[in-house]
Amino acid sequence: MKIKHLLALLLLGLSVKLYAQKTHINGLIKENTTGLPLPGATVQVKGTPITSVSDKNGLFRMYAEPGQTLEIKFLGFVTQDIIAPGDEALFEIYMKEDTRILSEIVVTGALGIQRAAKEIGGGTQVVSNEYLNQGKTINPLTGLASKVAGLRINMYDSKVDPQIQIVIRGTRSLNRSENAPIYVVDGVPVPDISRLNPNDIESITVLKGANAAALYGSEGVNGALMITTKTGSRGTERIQFSNTTTFSKAFLLPKAQKEFGQGQNGIYDPIQSESWGPRFDGSLRDFGRLLPDGTQPQLLYAAPSEDNRLGIFQTGVNIQNDLSFSGGDESSTYFVSIQDVSIKGILPGDESQRTGARFNGSKKFGKLKTSYNINYIRFKKDMAPDGPWLAAYTSPANIDYSSLKDWLDPNSIANPNLYFTDQVKNPFFLLDNNRQSNKQQTLNGKIELEYEITPWFSALYRLGMYSSFDESQNRSGKFEAAGRRNVVGSVTDINDNFQRLNGDFILNFNKQIGRFSTSLILGQNFRSDNRKTVTVGASNLLLPDLFNPASRIGELSSGSGSSLTEYRSLAVYGEFTTGYNDYLFLTLTGRKDWVSVLAPSNRSYFYPGVSTSFVFNDAIPALKDSRVLTFGKIFASWNKTGNVTLQPYSLNNAYSQSNGFPFGNTVGFSPGSAYPNPSIQPEFVTSFEIGTQLSLFDNRLHFEGSYVYSDSEGQIFNATTSRATGYSTAIVNAGRLTNNIIELSINADVLHTKDQKLNLGLNYSHIKNQVKELYEGTSYNIFRQSYANVGQAYPSLMVSDYKRDPEGRIVINPSTGYPVLADAETHLGSMVPPFQLGFSSFYQYKSVSIGAQFDSRWGGWLYSEIIPRQYTAGTHPNTVAYDRQPFIYPNSSIELEDGRFVENRDVFSPGDKAFWDFEGKVQSNTAVQSDFFKLRELNLTFNLPPSLLSGQKIIKTASLSLIGTNLFIIRHKDNDHGDPEYLYNSTDGYVSFRQVPPYRTYGFNINVGF
């Protein structure tokens, strides 16, 4: 949606009323959740010395001009601004608790039930809207990165719809794609939140342990992100508009040599794409073949001063426009928001757009409380599939990409028919000709009915629906030419519809018995997921620009068909909490699940949990009212969670047709490559946690520390098997993984005066992950160089390496000069950095503030599949280390017949392409340590002071921010491969040429409140 549309809406929704006379204001201040009067709150007419204080009934009376701003303050509550009304009628104000004060923090616990933090016997952390949106990220998950101890967030790549991997407290499953937490939006579990408008989020409570999320059952095994969206406040009507515009620039491309150019064997060749030619000499040389008009394109054969590869990329532009309205009255509240996000990617032609609207409301009918929300998101994207930038990694350094853009020109070297080589294609042609487009509509909502049967007993029914309608088209334009220049036009249309229904019926009992508080929750849950995917494709299109399978030549492509997937589950659960004197709490949980994906004899399973917390500063008289220790809690928990990560229909081997089948009436079905196991059982994760939360010096310093142990057994995963078994993988119930975790976080209000604030925060986690057992043997391959090895962290990087003599010298084969390879692969280390540190700083001076978020991870390794390709193509820097001449391999030796090793002094290694190609295949040359330290977010905000806004009545608040992400990064000295955070195919520490290279963004945000 464009800005002008938003403005139109804005005008529709507004009417300006003007008042001039001073009147008496009669106000009643109430507490938001209980509705009880709040005595002792101060009310001040902003910008004036006029103040008043609410009496014991919460009432106040004062003089003010209608339209003036009244500021209401009360310790422990969020300060509120309201507009003075135009008459003397009683005016109600609802004050909200300030959750920043730890002892009173309310967290959103399982099932969306608000719980006092002090009761909770597990690690939780709340990230507020402001902190989440510091970098104005488009995907709310990105905004969480490095802000929560034990939470790890990785980007996949830099496309216009980047995927995110999120893992809380280490890997629990050997199944790579089953380590994500459950996402719960306003109490309803949803499969995805990446398209949620981050500005709609009031807060995200991260429930780190399976214990906190126990009532969500299996899906809660990896922790939960409890997202609370904004609601309106009674008595305050607000309109907010904000615009964020940022620019993205590609950086951190894999390093390449700039000394030798195109050719083979040291000889220049104008049609070669590889860099095995002579040394750059500054001459002008033929580039490609003669053009039809008889001209011979030429290129300066010299090392460019800049990285020419960046010429493929452009400056991306990200624009977000947000508009929200909120308000409420005695019995109802509402929150409406509209957001439009448009992204122009760093690859020319790539773009996406997301338009979303949310309506949250609540209404009370006597004892029945209802709340409901609906969220509609329309997302579309159009982008290039993997490939265009790969050509640049393997092409000569002197290619000037700016001259290759106009590929339609029939007389240009950019034309695919005339491109200088036919081993790779013009990246700009690939960008234009191969497209993936997608339109997605997500409709997501819930309705919740809560009836208070007696003051201590209520019943709640919550029904959530999540549905997405996805239409995708992958296309490749027909281009008639010979050989590799030819493109047979193809198109695939995919319709994917997904619906989830999730219902919970919950009985909630609360009773105070003497000094004991008790609460009991009994619940029942059903879940039903339905998916239908229809794919229709054609691999030989009639016309270059008509992308419809109907206008094809020959038959539909082999993938055409449809697929239905159904998943269902039922559960019953209960939770019992008792508290003694409001300082000692004990919680017991239990849940039994039934799932559709297992054989009927295995499909139900039960799992229990227990947790306790002790608020010792309340319990120990000497600590009560201490000025040093304002809050102190220790907690511990134990629980076991069952989990089934199996996809539907995995108990049998399904057959499909390939290799051209069916040929007319001749069918040919062949089995899948995964060995099925019909007797798969649920897997179980047992975890134990102990920790403390302290608040010191009037809540100026917070500390939280915990130790967590988790043990996952009998895992369900697709283990890679020897291909001699006939299968490439086997579904097994095997393997045991443990995690030993230490998490620390410190947050300090270093400065807190009227004009200045300085807040520093630090979170640290060390996750010691270890594979304890595997199904068979001591090692399982997971994906390419990624392994699970008994006794090592998962996933482990194993690479082929040189044979080394006892002194560590590389052994050279004296007859060829090539290094000898070691018999077995070498283990380098964990592909996930076990150490993680997040550091935040926020400084405010009057109306100017600066916030910075730093992220550091270390102790891991990464593998890049780009590097071997660069070796082969001669673009890797190592290939020029010896001027492409024969050389004596440094620190090498020769093995004598008697088994002794002597220093290699005279066997030369050939410095030619075959040799370096071999070197590129030695995988230890392709791995580096993945340590990094980066400035993830920087935000500089200027709030317009009230004095500047006092001349008018329309704008109440306004601010301007400058923001940037990934502004700098320090990597391990050996790492010239890319951003260590990026991952591929759910495999940590694996860098692929399929990823669009990393980018950084910088821009501004304007925020106006009406």
- Provide the residue type at 194 as one letter: S
- Closest approach of another protein to the CB of residue 309, in Å: 20
Which two tokens mark 197? 């408008």
- Could you give the CA distance from residue 68 to residue 955 in angstroms, rounded to a whole number? 12
Smallest gap from Cβ 117 to another protein, in A, equals: 32
Tokens 């996809």 label which residue? 647
Q: 128 or 679, CB closer to another protein?
A: 679
* Residue corresponding to tokens 């392709």: 926
- List the one residue out of 25, 21, 22 whose CA is nearest residue 89: 25
Measured from the CB atom, the residue of 437 and 779 that comes closer to another protein is 779
**Least Cβ distance, residue 451 to another protein (angstroms):** 16
Instruction: Give least dist CB 685 to another protein, A.
Output: 23
Shortest Cβ distance from residue 618 to another protein (Å)?
A: 42
Q: Which residue has the tokens 């229809």?
A: 534
Q: Smallest gap, in angstroms, from Cβ of residue 596 to another protein?
A: 4
DSSP line for 198-212: GGGEEEEEEE-STTT
Q: Please tell me the distance from the alpha carbon of residue 128 to that of residue 390, in angstroms, as a whole number.
A: 40
* Spatial distance between the Cα atoms of 954 and 1000, rounded to a whole number of angstroms: 36
**Considering the complex, what minimum distance in angstroms separates the CB of residue 296 from another protein?**
15
Rounded Cα gap, residues 652 and 634, in angstroms: 48
Omega of the bond prior to 795 within 30 degrees of 0, cis?
Answer: yes
Nearest CB to another protein, comparing residues 526 and 843:
526
129 or 558: whose CB is closer to another protein?
558
Residue type, 951: G
- String of b and e for 662-676 (b: at least 16 CB within 10 Å)? eeeeeeeeeeeebbb
Q: What's the min distance (Å) between Cβ of 959 and another protein?
A: 19
Question: How many whole angstroms separate alpha carbon 639 and alpha carbon 220?
Answer: 12
- If the CB atoms of residues 581 and 658 are measured against another protein, the closer one turns out to be 658
Nearer to another protein, 292 or 561 (CB): 561
Q: Are strands 90-95 and 23-31 parallel, antiparallel or unpaired?
A: parallel
| DSSP state letters, 824-844 | SPEEEEESS-SEEEEEEEEEE
Q: Report the residue number, 382 or 912, with the smaller CB distance to another protein.
A: 912
Please report how close the Cβ of residue 267 comes to another protein at its closest, in angstroms: 6
In angstroms, the Cα distances linking 411 to 226, 260, 292, 398 are 59, 28, 6, 21
The C-alpha atoms of residue 945 and residue 957 are separated, in whole angstroms, by: 8
Tokens of 281: 């000499």
**Is 478 or 640 the residue whose CB approaches another protein more closely?**
478
Q: How many CB atoms lie within 10 A of CB 36?
A: 10
- Whether the Cβ atoms of residue 540 and residue 556 lie closer than 8 Å to each other: no
Q: Which is nearer to another protein, 908 or 942 (CB)?
A: 908
Closer residue to another protein (CB): 298 or 528: 528
Nearer to another protein, 100 or 568 (CB): 568
Min dist CB 361 to another protein, Å, is 6
Taking Cα atoms as reference points, which of 43, 46, 97, 49 lies closest to residue 72? 43
Q: How far is the CB of 327 from another protein (least distance, A)?
A: 6
The closest alpha carbon to 631, from 706, 701, 708, belongs to 701
Least distance to another protein from the beta carbon of 984, Å? 12
**Residue 727 Cβ vs another protein, minimum distance, rounded to whole Å:** 6
Q: Which residues contact 926 (CB under 8 A, 6 or more apart)?
A: 799, 863, 864, 865, 867, 868, 920
Q: Give backbone dihedrals phi and psi of 915, rounded to 5 degrees, phi first.
A: -65, -50
Could you give the CA distance from residue 139 to residue 377 in angstroms, rounded to a whole number? 13
Q: How far apart are CA 552 and CA 539, in angstroms?
A: 8
Distance CA 407, CA 427 (A): 10
Residue nearer to another protein on the CB measure, 191 or 705: 191
Task: List phi, psi (to 5°) of 741.
Answer: -125, 135
- Min CB(818)–another protein separation in Å: 6
Strand-pairing partners, residue 861, are 929
The least CB distance from residue 787 to another protein, in Å, is: 7
DSSP letter (8 states) at residue 143: G
Q: Closest Cα partner for 991 from 1002, 1006, 978, 1010?
A: 978
Residue 373 Cβ vs another protein, minimum distance, rounded to whole Å? 9
Query: Cα torsion at 985, 990, 996, 999 (round to 10°)?
Result: 120
* CB-nearer residue toward another protein: 40 or 668: 668
CB of 925 or CB of 1001, closer to another protein: 925
Question: Least distance to another protein from the beta carbon of 895, Å?
Answer: 13
Contacts of 519 (CB under 8 A, 6+ apart): 508, 509, 510, 511, 575, 576, 577, 578
**Contacts of residue 790, Cβ cutoff 8 Å, sequence gap at least 6:** 771, 772, 773, 774, 778, 779
Beta bridge partners of 534: 495, 562
| 615: three-class secondary structure by DSSP | strand
